[in-house]
Structure 1
């Protein structure tokens, strides 16, 4: 045999190419990678495709929004919905409220409009009656117009008494008479000043009040009391009353009497002077208005002998001095007249024409009797019901 044969046996190596090394390593067979399953590859492809589709859709939506704007109802809307715009609400907050209430299709539509529409600056806090599925422009038109606010209004006239205030408010709002009375019975809850002695008479200022939906008795009555207190401060009642020798409460009492005893603005200060002159002279005021406050008489300016003889601290025929408190809610004109009475020596006054309110002021009782005769003559020809 040749040497080449020996080489084949000893050094030529294995034809497989591993140079005679075994397929085993440290006695273990090398791990083989498992073959990838075909369905896994398809799942991966599907996930990638879905991601691409979603991304394309999102991008398309953004492009559409950019060029066409956010989705918005065409309007004008249907049905009715009351929406509250809170104090200090910004454009995004209002937009969110409108979307939540179903007024606009998307908050973004209204918000984007609020950024470029000057009408937005006119929107005030309050309640508004809108419709569902309105366009953002339509909603903006309503919200920016102050006259569209949903609100009730009650007007308390000068001279109104507590029972009249209760009747006016309960008949003109959703606040019941029982709720009003409960608040009136708790003076501290409505901010009644200590000087009132727990009696709200005269402290429910006559004015027109806005009553928002959901307002309660306590909040409304508190406004009335606060208005009285504010007017007292504006007119400096306490100091000016002291200069006349009276208290602030007595000034409100005089002013409340003027509401019933005078019928023309120019007579308020004159009647005030008559009251002060009689008080200075120790004369009883002899006012039918204070007597009828207790008797509840309505419809005319007179009283009966029985009413004038009734026992009451408000009976100014039987008692000297002012009654213990106001007999109604005085307005600013009568308060000012009480603080700034006219100059004169009058001790008497009487209206001689109950339709026009013409009043005669007299220094003496004899002069007063002449004026009373004028009134009696007038009543003989006056229309039915005017003189009782």
Structure 2
């Protein structure tokens, strides 16, 4: 009985250290070799024993709280991950989670509203105006749509829109210049007559008012070297003319921008500036590819140097107010037309259009060559061939290119 009790006690008893924590138990080897370490020192008193028990309880409670906190953290992480996956907004989601996308109208829109984009306005400024007009829901929706579309040009002008539109639909309209109204578009190579006709239509100002200012010589508008003539002195670009009431103000704005551009390009002032505008305007009218402007400018200079007439049909047509394709043989042989460079030597009295930057720069820096003639042999592609060599050789080449032109363009003059 005593042995059984001793065995039970040996199997079920456990040493504890002074902190109340389980002490290491003797190993089998320690027991077999008789090297069992002595048991922990007993508590000095019952008070010490109670202190040790309280300390052990606190230690156990701390461990339980740590385990509970860790489990709670894991649960929160799992719940968050599931929520993100369900909403499609996880770290690897391709959806845009910005509020600009969320806060967008579904479209297609309601009613009709006019919206004006002013020259030089940024996408951010346009976005704010769109929000104020309740065309888009948020500025962020619009700027994000602009970015998604590859940051296209947003053209100045007055557009027909609706309220409560989807931002991407608004971007599509504002980036289409054919839908812009109220803004006068002056194109490189346009004549003054075409510009003022468009300006009158868009502004509501009578075309007669524009003609009156032009016929009066543009006093207070044109620089002295223009000699009272507006042709060549309108800067290509966009102009907000809707609602304006003064033809003089519209014309002055275009001339002022032209002068500023010529200054920025380093074009000499005085008579040389007018001369370069004339050469540039002819080059712009004769070919439709900028790569040829420098060569045409050189042809003009070479023919002037040799005392030859320029022989440009575009100048003849300008003097008659028609297109070169409308010319008749009688008109080509009419010496009363001061712009008939087939018969009259020298440059034309004025430019024959409003040339663009490329043509102006080409007139300032013409290419080097002995070319005297050129022919646009293919009207579809704009391919133009230039003659070279002796004057006799160039005349022969010219006739060859004329035949190529007639073959490639049957029915053309």
Q: Deviations over 1:207-256 (max 9, x none)?
A: 2x2425312333332222112111110111116xx9xxx71100101111
Residue 365 (structure 1) aligns with: 391
Residues 376, 160 of structure 1: alpha-carbon distance in 2 compared, 3 angstrom cutoff? same
2:284 touches 2:359 (CA, 8 Å); kept in 1?
A: yes
Alignment pair present for 1:222 and 2:252: yes
Residue 327 (structure 1) aligns with: 352
Runs of 4 or more consecutive aligned structure 1 residues displaced over 6 Å after TM superposition: 77-86, 125-131
Residue 197 (structure 2) aligns with: 167
Residues 184, 362 of structure 1: alpha-carbon distance in 2 compared, 3 angstrom cutoff? same
In the aligned structure 2, how far is the partner of 1:292 from the partner of 1:349? 18
TM-score in terms of structure 1 length: 0.57
2:376 touches 2:405 (CA, 8 Å); kept in 1?
A: no
In the aligned structure 2, how far is the partner of 1:327 from the partner of 1:126? 28
Residue 285 (structure 1) aligns with: 310
Q: Please report how far the alpha carbon of residue 174 of structure 1 lies from its aligned counterpart in structure 2 after TM superposition.
A: 2.9
Residue 273 (structure 2) aligns with: 248
In the aligned structure 2, how far is the partner of 1:281 from the partner of 1:381? 31
In the aligned structure 1, how far is the partner of 2:231 from the partner of 2:388? 31
Residue 364 (structure 2) aligns with: 339
Residue 183 (structure 2) aligns with: 153
**Is the partner of 1:160 in helix, strand or coil?**
coil
Query: How many residues are paired up?
Result: 279
In the aligned structure 1, how far is the partner of 2:301 from the partner of 2:191? 24
Alignment pair present for 1:233 and 2:263: yes
Residues 267, 232 of structure 1: alpha-carbon distance in 2 compared, 3 angstrom cutoff? same
Residues 299, 187 of structure 1: alpha-carbon distance in 2 compared, 3 angstrom cutoff? closer
- Residues 35-50 of structure 1 correspond to what in structure 2 (within 5 A)? none
1:151 touches 1:210 (CA, 8 Å); kept in 2?
A: no
**Is the partner of 1:300 in helix, strand or coil?**
helix
RMSD: 4.4
1:269 touches 1:338 (CA, 8 Å); kept in 2?
A: yes
- Structure 2: which 5+ residue stretches go unaligned? 1-108, 119-127, 142-155
Residues 380, 227 of structure 1: alpha-carbon distance in 2 compared, 3 angstrom cutoff? same
* RCO higher in structure (CA 8 A, sep ≥6): 1
- Structure 1: which 5+ residue stretches go unaligned? 1-76, 87-93, 105-116, 120-124
Residues 279, 372 of structure 1: alpha-carbon distance in 2 compared, 3 angstrom cutoff? closer
